[in-house]
Structure 1
Amino acid sequence: MTQVPTGETVTAAEFRLFKTRSFSRHFNRTLHISVYEIHRDHSNRQPELTLLDHESIQAGDEGWLVFDVTAASNHWLLNAKYNAGLRLYVENDEGQSIDPSLAGILGRRAPRSKQPFMVTFFQANRNQIRSTRAVKQLKKRQQKKHSDLPHPNKLPGVFDHVHVPDGRQVCKRHELYVSFRDLGWLDWVIAPQGYSAFYCEGECSFPLDSCMNATNHAILQSLVHLMKPESVPKACCAPTKLSATSVLYYDNNNNVILKKHRNMVVKSCGCH
């Protein structure tokens, strides 16, 4: 919250947690999850809490849980010294407290793509709405790339780093050799016996780095996905440039044909 620029106001703040499926027999199928703002923490008695948001889910559910913590963020902005954090409680139908880890809720030891984070929405004087992951420090911004839209790393309040979940690589080109022999095509293909076609694979996770060769549409889709992950999918890794390759083959009349076929080789990949 220390990154909020002067002259801007917070319109909303969300705390997001990822929950995996849980089938423990120690509690009922329905879980009640509550998020509180800690006003004051005491060593000898219970802390002073204010309920911010509550959600009831099934133990077998999986996905992101979104809690409205706007009230807490507004208090923290007015006076940062009152920021004592948030408190999370998980209970069953009988009101018994459940260990969040047993309920499938992931914490900061989870893979990076599923760690808890906070999304804050700002209203600027220019009526621009933007979002930021407030739990991380802003990194040094790189030079602006040529694009009709600002690169996502250049949008105010967005981080300049490549986020790759679960150790996966970012979107890029990979080796792929297509063998016409393996396809059973050598009875009509004379040459070549195969060629390097390549393929695209990798993550298009927010924020989209310049090396991901993202389209303007992919940039905006990624921003919307960050705010509404259950409604809008992430951008996809796909070829951005293809080239032709020549094939010598027999046609249906047994004529020998040399033809250059378009869009046979992946030259570059990007997020779409």
Structure 2
Amino acid sequence: MSTKKVVLAFVLLLGIASCKVNPFTGQKVLNFYPNSQIFPMAFSQYDEFIGQNEVLENSAEARMISKVGQRISSAAERWLSANGYPGYLKDYRWEYNLVKDDQINAWCMPGGKIVFYTGILPVCQGETGVAVVMGHEVAHALADHGAQRMSAGTLQQLGAVAGNIAIQDEESRNMFNQAYGIGSSVGVMLPFSRSHETEADRIGLQIMAIAGYNPDEAAELWKRMKASAGGNTPLEFLSTHPSNDTRIANLIQWAPLARQEAQKFGVTSFQ
């Protein structure tokens, strides 16, 4: 069998064998990195980051980050258990750290390792705002977005390899590489990333409501995020994230649905 056929067969095999169901959407997703492979790597990278940065452990803000994280992850576990996914989180090792840094950002690694930067706290304006961000970051972990991005990146690389094998002419190969790099990024990888952000917004809104936090605050937080950006944001189709206006409109639309979901768990009042 030729190298080209081997690569294409491998791509096809990965596509067939790597579908996993997202419990929150019921849809199959591309993911051929099992937790047993990706979690230890993520935990190691997280520990290295924590060791190289200033972690605030005993401040009121740090304790709030931990408190909100525990409430959000517990709400996620309640939802998963109630919807037929008991044990889904058995390999997760939740950790919530506040790091001294002026960046207006927070992030989560596979397996539940979360960092908030102090720079985002003024935008959050308190515990409920933190819950909006925490819900979003926890949702990334729950939906295996990190593993999905790695899977998509692997397929993108294999596609480039297959094209270079198939095209013998050097000039044509160079043209292919240029077109493939731009096309696969703008046409596939960036929309893929934006879909993850939108999905994390929706899942996070639902989980924060189950945890007892007001989902209406999500749109308000993103209005503040928009104001803090001062208009310095890329065009949506060239960004890994939806525009602030898109997110705000989505969150306003989804907030009543999140309240309805929370009511199934006996939550009728919100902080």
Q: Smaller-chain TM-score range?
A: under 0.3
Report the structure, 1 or 2, having the larger helix content.
Answer: 2
- Name the TM-score, length of structure 1 as normaliser: 0.23
TM-score, scaled relative to structure 2: 0.23
The higher radius of gyration belongs to 1
